[in-house]
């Protein structure tokens, strides 16, 4: 994954969502609360509180005690919390490998996951070189434009890939002239990546930037994340990429093996 640092956009708040989040935080500090207690604490009308609770209850984020009629946090938050914890556990495993890779290559190292049709950077190590690429943690980039994104996509179950890219006639965003422009071309590319075990981004997201990416696989051989090496095309050229690809695939296997013990 590769991108030059950009200015952060101005944050725009959604008031109704903010109220719902405040409600969840209030419940997290309490065992159970009545609608009237929630209304008083948040200074929100009872009708609004009832609507928010009904929606959160429907989706499993809150549960109503049938005896007391009070509300408390639901199972869905427990499930999401476990997923977050699993991500942190994965980070603890991955970071030493990223540090080792950084010392070996002197290029930018990124650890990313897939969110919809985009990759999200969760951890990074910047290159010590003056000429370097940078990406902010949390940055989202179209998966089809990046090496790490394509590496993750290539090892998804077929049904998951169909959910994301079901229509082969769909056109894809093309940040550069080298970007993959259609779902059909993307799927052809993913077949090669699945066979090779790695993916390359040759100026597909940004001109002058090359990337090499590999997936991190679970015990079933399904991708759950990916790591990539990123550098200026003038330095991180195809010759250096070819020299590094086997090392990166070995690191990917080592991480996967450690994760799946």
Residues 6+ apart with CB under 8 A from 160: none
From 153, 146, 168, select the one nearest 212 (Cα to Cα).
Answer: 146
From 220, 206, 57, select the one nearest 141 (Cα to Cα).
Answer: 206
Tokens of 250: 């070995």
Residue 199 has pLDDT above 60, yes or no: yes
Strand 209-217 to 223-232 pairing: antiparallel
pLDDT digits (tens, 9 = 90+) for 153-190: 999 999 999 989 988 888 999 999 999 999 999 999 99
Residue 200 or residue 80, greater confidence: 200
pTM: 0.71
Over the range 72-108, which residues count as b (16 or more CB within 10 Å of their CB) and which as e? ebbeebeeeeeeeeeeeebeeebeebbeebbeebebb
Residues 6+ apart with CB under 8 A from 131: 232, 234, 235
Residue 7 has pLDDT above 70, yes or no: no
Confidence (pLDDT) at 23 = 93
Orientation angle between helical segments 15-28 and 35-42, nearest 10 degrees = 120
Tokens of 196: 């090779």
The confidence band for 91, taking pLDDT boundaries of 50, 70 and 90, is: confident
The confidence band for 65, taking pLDDT boundaries of 50, 70 and 90, is: confident
3-state SS, residue 44: coil
Q: Set out the domains of the chain in order of their start, with CATH numbers.
A: 15-73 (1.10.10.10), 85-259 (3.30.450.40)
Residues 6+ apart with CB under 8 A from 45: 39
């Amino acid at each position: 994954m590769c991108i030059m640092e950009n200015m952060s956009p101005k944050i725009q708040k959604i008031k109704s969502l903010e109220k719902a989040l405040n409600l969840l935080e209030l419940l997290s500090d309490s065992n159970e609360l009545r609608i009237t207690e929630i209304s008083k604490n948040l200074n929100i009308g009872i009708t609004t509180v009832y609507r928010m609770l009904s929606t959160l209850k429907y989706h499993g984020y809150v549960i109503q005690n049938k005896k007391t009629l009070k509300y408390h946090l639901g199972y869905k938050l427990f499930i999401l919390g476990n997923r977050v914890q699993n991500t942190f556990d994965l980070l603890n495993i991955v970071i030493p490998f990223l540090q080792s890779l950084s010392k070996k290559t002197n290029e930018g190292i990124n650890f990313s996951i897939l969110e919809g049709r985009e990759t999200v950077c969760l951890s990074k190590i910047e290159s010590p070189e003056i000429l370097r690429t940078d990406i902010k943690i949390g940055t989202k980039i179209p998966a089809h434009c990046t090496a790490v994104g394509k590496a993750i996509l290539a090892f998804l179950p077929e049904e998951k890939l169909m959910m994301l890219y079901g229509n082969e006639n769909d056109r894809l965003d093309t940040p550069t002239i080298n970007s993959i422009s259609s779902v059909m071309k993307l799927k052809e590319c993913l077949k090669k990546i699945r066979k090779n075990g790695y993916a390359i981004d040759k100026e597909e997201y940004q001109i002058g930037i090359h990337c090499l990416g590999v997936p991190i696989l679970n015990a079933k051989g399904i991708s759950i994340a990916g790591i990539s090496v990123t550098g200026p095309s003038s330095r991180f050229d195809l010759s250096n990429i070819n020299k590094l690809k086997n090392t990166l695939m070995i690191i990917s296997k080592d991480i996967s093996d450690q994760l799946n013990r």
